[in-house]
Amino acid sequence: MSVPLTLLGLLQREPSHGYDLKHEYDAYFGRGKPLPFGQVYSTLSRLARDGKVVIDEVGPGEGPDRKRYIITELGATEIEQWLTQPVDPEPHLQTVLFAKVVLALMLDRPAAEYLDTQRAAHLQRMRELTEIKRTGSLVDGLLADHGLYHLEADLRWIEITGARLDALKKTVQR
């Protein structure tokens, strides 16, 4: 997730204060990992330094002055470019799970047990996401679907790899 670009996108929709940006970010993009206020303000400071946002007005607040940020033409251009570029397809060919299986086989450890443990963790997460989908908002449901589809692919990989462990062991122990 690109926090600077996401904040720029929110600012393109409407000028906002950092406090409001943080809450809007958390509502749509911060599921399970809310954005710290310090990160919001340091990101806005860098965006201002780089000419992508400007401070429109400064007003008194219950602490520091409240600054309202507006996206600049440079920021709007960057958002347009970012939105129109495809995201690099995942997954990459280097994964932690694959590395663990290969190392377990190289070290003559119980790779099948590791796969079983990982399968159980994936199934537990799938139950959690299914509950989120059942009880959450449309946004929650769509994010849960994304996670579920990735977990399903991982589970297929775990099954195929489990069936090929003996052949893989011979390959990696040479």
Tokens standing for 92?
């990459």
Report which of 68, 70, 71 is spatially closest to residue 17, judged by C-alpha positions. Answer: 68
Quote the pLDDT of residue 96.
82
Quote the pLDDT of residue 56.
87
The burial of 79, by beta-carbon neighbours within 10 Å (0-12 exposed, 13-18 middle, 19 or more buried), is given as buried
Quote the pLDDT of residue 131.
97
Encode pLDDT of 53-62 as tens digits.
999 876 666 6
In the chain, domain spans: 3-84, 96-172
What is the pTM assigned to this prediction? 0.71
Quote the pLDDT of residue 63.
57
CA distance linking residue 139 with residue 147, whole number of Å: 13
Quote the pLDDT of residue 32.
76
Quote the pLDDT of residue 61.
60
* Class of 3-84 in CATH: mainly alpha
Is 93 in contact with 157 (CB distance < 8 Å)? Answer: no
Residues of the chain with pLDDT below 70 are 1, 58-65, 90-94
Q: How far is CA 60 from CA 64, 66, 68, 132, 164, in A?
A: 7, 6, 11, 39, 65
What is the three-class DSSP state of 56?
Answer: strand
Tokens standing for 164?
């090929």
Quote the pLDDT of residue 52.
97
Quote the pLDDT of residue 93.
64
CA distance linking residue 134 with residue 33, whole number of Å: 21
Quote the pLDDT of residue 1.
65
Is 100 in contact with 121 (CB distance < 8 Å)? Answer: no
Please count the other Cβ atoms lying within 10 Å of the Cβ belonging to residue 40.
21
